[in-house]
Structure formats: C-alpha cells, structure tokens
Structure 1
Amino acid sequence: MLSTLRIAAMSAAIVAVAATSTTAFAQKKYDTGATDTEIKIGNIMPYSGPASAYGVIGKTEEAFFKMINDQGGINGRKVNFVTYDDAYSPPKAVEQVRKLVESDEVLLVFNPLGTPSNTAIQKYLNSKKIPQLFVATGATKWNDPKNFPWTMGWQPSYQSEAHIYAKWLLKEKPDAKVAILYQNDDFGKDYLKGTKDGFGAKASNIIMEESYEVSEPSIDGHIVKIKAANPDVLLIYTTPKFGAQTIKKTAELGWKPLQIITNVSISVGSVMQPAGFENAQNVLSAAYAKDGSDPQWANDAGMKKWNAFLDKYMPGVDKTDNGVVYGYGAAQTLAKVLEMCGDDLTRANVMKQAASLKDFAPDTLLPGVKINTSATDFAPIAQLQMQRFKGQKWELFGEIISGDVPTQ
C-alpha cells in the first residue's frame, strides 16, 4: 500500500513538474502596451496644416483596426489605435509622440507621417527602444538597421523612385534639359540626390534646381521662374498641395514640358482633380499600389476586399484618394507582423518579426510587388512601375522596376 502511495505521489510530482515546464514554455511575454486582451498602437498624422491631405491615411488605419477588432482581433487581442494630429510640424510631432509613449503607454508607434516629423522623433524612440514602425515617408535613411534598429520604412524610398525616373529619362530622352522643383527639406533633398545619382555622368542634363518652403501658401512664382529657363522636363518633387498647384500653374502659363510627379502626390482625388484633369494629361509618375479608381481592378480579389471594407467602415469616403489605398496596405502589413508575434508581444519581437517578412503581398499592392525584409534590410518595398495620367486615371506601362539604392 505504502509503495502504491509513494508511486502515486511521485507520479503527481512528475505531472506537476511537467505542467510547470509546459506553462513556462508557453509563457506569454508582454511589454508596456500589450496584455492578454489588448494591443495599444500609437500614431501621428497631419490632420491639419500644409500636409492635411494625408489625414485620410490615419482615418483609414483607424477604420481598418476597427474591422480587425470586429473580426475578433489579432490572436484574440483587440487593437487600441490611438492617433493624434501633429499638423506636419516637427515640434508638435515630438510632443504628441512623447504623449503616446509616456501617457498612453503604447507598444509601438506605427506609420507616423512625414520626413521632418519622423526625423524629429527618431532618436527619442530609438533611445527608448520603441518601434517606429513602417514610417509613412520614403526617406532613404529609415533603412539604417545598424544605427537605428527601432526604425523601419514601408513604401519605396524617394531615392529609389528618383533613380527610376532618371533611368527612364536617360533611356527615353537622353538629351533632355531637366528642371527640378523640390521641397526644401529632407523629403525634397532625398529626391534631388536620387536624381543626380541616377543620371550619374549625365547629371549636367539638370539645368535648374528650384526649392520652395512648405510654409509658402503658393509656389506659382517658382513655376514662372523655372519656365524662364525653358527645360524640356519638369520633375515635381512635392507634397500633394504643391503638386496640384504646379500642374495647374504650368497649364495656366500655356507651358507644356514633360512633367513627372512624386508617387506621394499621385492621388486622383486630392491632386489631379484639383489641378484640373485637362491640365494633368500625360503627367508621369511611378506606382507600387493599385489605384482605387481604376476599373482594371474591378475583379481583383484584393481590391474587392478593399472596396467591401470601405463600404462598411468608411461609407462615403473618396475612393479616388490614394491615401485610402496606402493606409489599408500599411495597416494590413502591421496586422501581419502582430499576428506573427503570437504571444510574444515584446517590442524586440515586434521588430524581429517586422524584419522577417517574406514575399508578403497586401491586397492593395500591384501584382509582382512584394514586401521583403531582413535583419539587414529595413526597406520593405523597393519596386515601382511607371504610369501616365490619361483621362481621369493613371495607366501603368512598362515593367516593374527595382530601385537599386543600398542600405545606409
């Protein structure tokens, strides 16, 4: 009897040890901002100010996570998306991000918009070891895992995009005289550098570089000045408001250079329409995402999901605004990363998973464009396709091109 009891006791002890080790093995790991029931995500957007056209991105992301929550959340946890207005002002961005980190206690800061704002918050977030994840700016410097391991971009870099324009011009118009209008900050200077690097030995094709300040109400005077130099090509390295002004003013002057505009200013609703469709004909750009207003995607499985999401969660939104496409794609990428994190919702694991994406294709990216990251490559998207504005929409042409800008 005694030996039976002893065996039973030993068996119970073994079971208890096994149970303990299983529990330890499946232990959930959390940093501030994550619990069994919630993942708190911080975000800043210019809902007001000179870049307020981008505000719809934050609204789309907020709606996307509401949809995710209605579907049961991510691994059973609801996403609490906290978003603030930074008015595209670096000091305001710092203030709002400190609030997100120190008062709201978010797990990470997702898709903060604008090169100046992200530059202002980068050192703070990296010193605190808080992910500055999938920033909404294509500055090349976000791909610097060695010096800034907590910062990662999302869209193609501005230098990659500018390389693609320079490559295309060298092939199609090798002797063209080129003028560049650029925003006088890191955003515009990245495009400027990418263009010069892309032209290489033929950088002398660039006959004029004209900068403007984001605080200027109108840039009409700059366009008049550029026209006087009589270039064949005008590279419009601007944010949306100034892109629309440039296309409109060029037409008012009766001047018809070949115009190439930044990918961040290709929105039909917030750039091409205000510029005037008749003025925007044959303007070129490059794209990595589908255009929500383009009928060629009517039967595309991904865009059907996008449309269904908008109809339910953002009824009445302008589907021609490519910010709605952008916000959905970025939010879907974050949802994928958080799903990959499982029950290890530490900030270190968030960055580890974000740097482990392989051929991920959000619903809204062009066919053939895929997201790939690694511990040494923090540039998720590096492919674009040229496009031309015709009628009231963009028409893609040529092959998918990779921009070959090295890691910082």
Structure 2
Amino acid sequence: MRNGIFHLLTGTAVAIALSASPASAQKKYDTGATDTEIKIGQTVPFSGPASAYATIGRTQAAYMKMINDQGGINGRKINLIQYDDSYSPPKAVEQVRKLVEDDEVLSTFQLLGTPSNAAVQKYLNAKKVPQLLAGTGASKFTDPKNFPWTMGFNPNYFVEGRIYGQYIMKTYPNAKVGILYQNDDLGKDYLNGIKAGLGEKAATMVVAEASYEVADPTIDSQILKIKAAGADVFFSASTPKQAAQAIKKISELDWHPVHILDINASSVGAVMKPAGLEASKGVISVNYIKDPLDPTWKDDAGMKKYLDFMAKYYPEGDKTSIFNTYGYTTSQMLMQVLKQCGDDLTRENVMKQATSLKNVVLDLALPGIVANTSPTDYRVNKQLQMMKFDGERWQLFGPIIEDTGAAG
C-alpha cells in the first residue's frame, strides 16, 4: 500500500516537474537573436522625394536606445540596423538583401513606403523573414493567405478610402468628386476604396481622376484638370510633398472644394505649414493617434510619456510632428510583439505573436482604440476618427469608426 502511494506520489511529482517546464520555457533562437541581442533591420527614406518620413526612422532609433537604457526586452538589447533607400524600390531591394544576408537580422521592421515594401515582399516571404509592421496600408500587405510573412501597420488604404466615400455620401450626396492619386499601390487602393464607399453612384459622382508619379516635380496640371471638370469635393491620395503642392495650388487658384486628404499626408509640419496654414484650413482627414498639438491631451499620461521621451532621446525632433508620434507608436508595438515572444525568438514565433495581439492599448492611441490581430486578419489598425484642420491644428469630430469589412 505504502509502495503504491510512493509510486503515485513519484509519478505526480514527475508530472508536476514536466508541466513546470513547458516548451515555451526553452530558449529558441533563429538567426538574429541571442541571449543578449535581438537584431532588427529597416530601410528608411532618409533622402529622396519622401524624405519627410526620415524623422520616423530617427524616432524609432531613439526609442530603441531608450529601451536598451532600460535593460532591453526580456534582458536582450535591440540592435536596430537602418539603411537609406531614398524611397527607391531598386535601392530598397539591395538594402533589404543586405539586412537579411549580410547583417542576418531576425526580422525587418517598419520598412517605409508602399513602393519599397512591394519591391521586397516576395523576397522576404520566400526567405521566411518577417516583414513586420510595414509602413504602408496597401491591401497587399495584409494578405496572410498569399503573404504570411508580411504584416502592415498602417490603416488599410482601401478601407480608409471607403470611409471617405461613405462620409461624402452622407454629407455631400450630390457632390462632384475629383481624385488626385499617386500612381502606385497606395494611390490605387485609395482610388478603389473611395469608389467602393460611393457605391453605385461612383460612376456619376467621380467627374475627374488624375494620377502622378512620385518623381514628378509638380502636380499643377493634374489640379487644373480636376478643377476644370467642375469638382466640388477634392480627394488627395498622396504623400507629403504632393499633398502640400495640391493645397498650395488650390489656394492660388482661389478654388474652394471640400478637401479630403489621406492620413499619410496629414502632418502639420511636413504638409500644412509648407502649403500655408491658412490655405490648409478646412482640410479633412482621419486619425487614430493623439495629436501633441491638441490641448485635450495636455494631462494625458500617454502623451506625457511621449513628450518625456522626445525631450530626453530626440530633443532635436519636432515633438508636435505626427510622423514622430507614429515612430513612437510603431516602436511601442514592436516592443509588445518582442515581449510576447519571451525566449522563443524564432521568426515563426515573431509572426505568431504579431498575429495574436489582444486589446493592445498604446500610449498615443485615441481613447477607445485598441489593437487586435488574428492569423486570418493581420490588420493592426481598424478603427479611425474623422478630423478637420482649423488653421492651427486638427480637430477630431464624430465617433470612432470601425471598418472590419473586406480590405480591398
């Protein structure tokens, strides 16, 4: 009897010991991760036509320094390797290959821009290297069936465009809509999204469409074409340089359409100020991140953390720039993913953790906005709020809009 009890207890002890040592407790590493370091790589347009975005990369580098000063993630320091791709797809390919094959990073992070991400997507998926939190909202970057190693961070461009179309239908049902769009996945997703939001009336409501190339020196002729078509609602699906040019040209023409601008080009410092604050008055867009210019957040704990970070780690940066709040927010999300990875720093687990986010609240997320992902829905940001520029700063209006419909 006593022997039987002894054997039973011994068996129980073994079972407890086994249950206390789950597979997750074992350290697992892929290339780019060790007991002391996690190697992450990115390309940033530090130069070229989209160099307004360069400050995002600088904010992200500063954030990693802060994390390392605090002891890193799960005891490991972050080694962020950055290269300039000049917003040039061929250069992005060259630099990403270098990151993967020479630097041997565990994951890429926040490759900036739709063209650059498109150029390396197939390569990274073939190599099974995470294209994590890519700096684009084009639909092809939230397509787990065809590209399981790619995950965009930005709100989906098609969905954002659809929200604008629905807003126009509700507020300006008899509008004549003119659309300026960048001739790439970014612009085309927005174009298709706004038409989806307009529904069956799109064919009659859209009176003009004009595309431009990233390298075009101006978009004056496109603006003139849209104005001549009689548009009274103007949608600019563009990046900062062209967005500023459009605002300025519209003002010079003394043309006063309802002006809607995509989220990527809503920076006060990089777009509104160069275009002219008075000229920018009344422009409409969306957001999901708190604006440092908005006094609503002056006592907000998350905003205070961001401002303290900027003061200490990036004092030369513009603390009011939405590009810098974006850099801070994307970095915080990367830390969340790496923290969830624990000691299983394999590329497979990086993607597993990134696609199983549950009600993640970031410091600068607007109240009510949380991040949720799943293996079948890679979209991080599915909630947005409308805003209008008052000549000094953006003013939020309306409810939080959540669009979980098909992403293009």
Q: What is the deviation of 1:23?
A: 9.8
Provide the TM-score with structure 2 as the length reference.
Answer: 0.94
Determine if contact 1:267/1:320 at 8 Å carries over to the other structure. Answer: no
Distance in 1 (CA, whole Å) between partners of 2:22 and 2:218 is 63
The residue aligned with 1:305 is 305
Q: How does 1:30-179 map to 2 (within 5 A)?
A: 30-179=29-178
Question: Could you tell me which amino acid in structure 2 is paired with residue 384 of structure 1?
Answer: L
The residue aligned with 1:288 is 288
Which runs of 5 or more residues in structure 2 are unaligned? 1-9
Q: Percent identity, please.
A: 59
Q: Deviations over 1:283-307 (max 9, x none)?
A: 1111111112222111111110000
Q: Alpha carbons of 1:205 and 1:404: their partners in 2 closer, same or farther (altered >3 Å)?
A: farther
Distance in 2 (CA, whole Å) between partners of 1:377 and 1:50 is 32
Distance in 1 (CA, whole Å) between partners of 2:26 and 2:394 is 50
Provide the TM-score with structure 1 as the length reference.
Answer: 0.94
Of 223-232 and 100-109, the range deviating more from structure 2: 223-232
Distance in 2 (CA, whole Å) between partners of 1:404 and 1:342 is 30
Q: What is the deviation of 1:391?
A: 2.7
Of 30-39 and 319-328, the range deviating more from structure 2: 319-328
The residue aligned with 2:378 is 378
The residue aligned with 1:402 is 402
Q: What is the deviation of 1:163?
A: 0.8
The residue aligned with 1:268 is 268
The residue aligned with 2:330 is 330
Q: How many residues get paired?
A: 393
Q: Deviations over 1:42-86 (max 9, x none)?
A: 011111111110111111111001000000000000000001111
Q: Alpha carbons of 1:82 and 1:338: their partners in 2 closer, same or farther (altered >3 Å)?
A: same
Distance in 1 (CA, whole Å) between partners of 2:270 and 2:68 is 30
The residue aligned with 2:6 is none
Q: What is the deviation of 1:153?
A: 1.1
Q: What is the deviation of 1:224?
A: 1.7
Q: What is the deviation of 1:268?
A: 0.6
Q: Deviations over 1:137-162 (max 9, x none)?
A: 11011111111110001121011111
Distance in 2 (CA, whole Å) between partners of 1:282 and 1:193 is 24
The residue aligned with 2:248 is 248
Distance in 1 (CA, whole Å) between partners of 2:270 and 2:191 is 24
Determine if contact 1:293/1:319 at 8 Å carries over to the other structure. Answer: no
- What is the SS of the residue equivalent to 1:152? strand
Q: What is the deviation of 1:316?
A: 2.6
Q: What is the deviation of 1:25?
A: 7.1
Distance in 2 (CA, whole Å) between partners of 1:116 and 1:391 is 32
Distance in 2 (CA, whole Å) between partners of 1:292 and 1:82 is 28
Distance in 2 (CA, whole Å) between partners of 1:76 and 1:354 is 20
Q: How does 1:173-252 map to 2 (within 5 A)?
A: 173-203=172-202, 204-252=204-252
The residue aligned with 1:5 is none
Q: What is the deviation of 1:340?
A: 0.4
Q: Alpha carbons of 1:116 and 1:68: their partners in 2 closer, same or farther (altered >3 Å)?
A: same
4+ runs deviating over 4 angstroms? 21-25
Q: What is the deviation of 1:221?
A: 1.9
Distance in 1 (CA, whole Å) between partners of 2:237 and 2:374 is 29
Q: What is the deviation of 1:22?
A: 5.1
Distance in 1 (CA, whole Å) between partners of 2:61 and 2:318 is 16
Which runs of 5 or more residues in structure 1 are unaligned? 1-10
Determine if contact 1:212/1:219 at 8 Å carries over to the other structure. Answer: yes
Distance in 2 (CA, whole Å) between partners of 1:25 and 1:151 is 24
Distance in 1 (CA, whole Å) between partners of 2:234 and 2:169 is 14
